[in-house]
Amino acid sequence: MTWTRQEFLAEAAGSGVLSPEYAEDVLVRLAHHSAAIEGNTLTLADTVTLLVDERVPVAGTPVRELYEIANHYQALARILSAVADGEPLTTSLVRDLHAALMDHLTHERGHYKTSSNIVTGASWQPAPPAHVPELMRQWVDQTEWQTANLDNEALLEAIAAAHIAFERIHPFSDGNGRTGRAIIAWQTIRRFGFPAIVQVTQRPAYITMLDTQDTPALIRLLAVALADEATRRAAT
């Protein structure tokens, strides 16, 4: 793996955004659920073994699955540094998150797609590669303004709508879902002090929300996630 637990904890402590203990708790759950939504087979306990104990949890685990989890060290550290520095959402930040999450997984990490892609089972087509740079510039401008300026229900609506729009653009050849959920984590940590984490048990409903552009349903999912997370953080 390219990062170690101690490197992550040092970055988390240095950011001052989350306590190292809580940051590690967020790391494990964000990594497990976001990767599992994409089909990663490691359990939550396996994720603890890999990220906290720094041991391979199951002999014979595909290397790709290990990187899909371990790459969240760097991705969450990047989120925390961005929040600590008051860094706005830019295309560079989006590409940094993708590069972190896709380290050792694709040679195109941090770069927009250059050929058309599809979302298996989806009823819609992602944006053509030629349209991605301009669509992403427009998307980050709108999403940054909304994240910085809206509150309460309007903020949650903006976060949900932006996530659906990002997935519709599908700017990368792979890793769009993980990157999109990392952006949600950045938005919610920035504004609430803790993340909204979509859980793998919610996957069928969540995928339907994305496919049908059901913003109200995604708002409700995020609201419940934030309420649960507020309780969890208060206990740490």
CB 76 within 8 A of CB 86: no
Closest by CA to 44, choosing from 100, 102, 36, is: 36
Amino acid 205: pLDDT? 98
Closest by CA to 17, choosing from 78, 74, 71, is: 78
CB 57 within 8 A of CB 45: yes
Amino acid 210: pLDDT? 97
CB 162 within 8 A of CB 182: no
Amino acid 61: pLDDT? 95
| Tokens coding 222 | 């995020």
- The CA-CA-CA angle for residues 233, 235, 236, to 5°, reads 70
- Write down the pTM of the prediction: 0.97
- For 158, other C-beta atoms within 10 Å of its C-beta total 20
Digitized pLDDT (tens) for each residue of the chain, 236 residues in all: 579 999 999 999 999 999 999 999 999 999 999 999 999 999 999 999 999 999 999 999 999 999 999 999 999 999 999 999 999 999 999 999 999 999 999 999 999 999 998 888 888 899 999 999 999 999 999 999 999 999 999 999 999 999 999 999 999 999 999 999 999 999 999 999 999 999 999 999 999 999 999 999 999 999 999 999 999 999 88
Q: Can you tell me the distance from the alpha carbon of 218 to that of 210, in angstroms, rounded to the nearest whole number?
A: 8
* Chain mean position to CA 164: 13
CB 233 within 8 A of CB 194: yes
Domain boundaries, the chain: 5-110+125-234
CB 93 within 8 A of CB 105: no
5-110+125-234, superfamily in CATH? Fido-like domain (1.10.3290.10)
Amino acid 236: pLDDT? 81
Q: Can you tell me the distance from the alpha carbon of 147 to that of 89, in angstroms, rounded to the nearest whole number?
A: 9
Amino acid 1: pLDDT? 56
| Tokens coding 126 | 């992602």
Closest by CA to 72, choosing from 114, 113, 40, is: 40
Sequence-ordered list of residues with C-beta below 8 angstroms from that of 15, at least 6 positions apart, any chain: 77, 80, 81, 83, 84
Q: Can you tell me the distance from the alpha carbon of 142 to that of 199, in angstroms, rounded to the nearest whole number?
A: 26
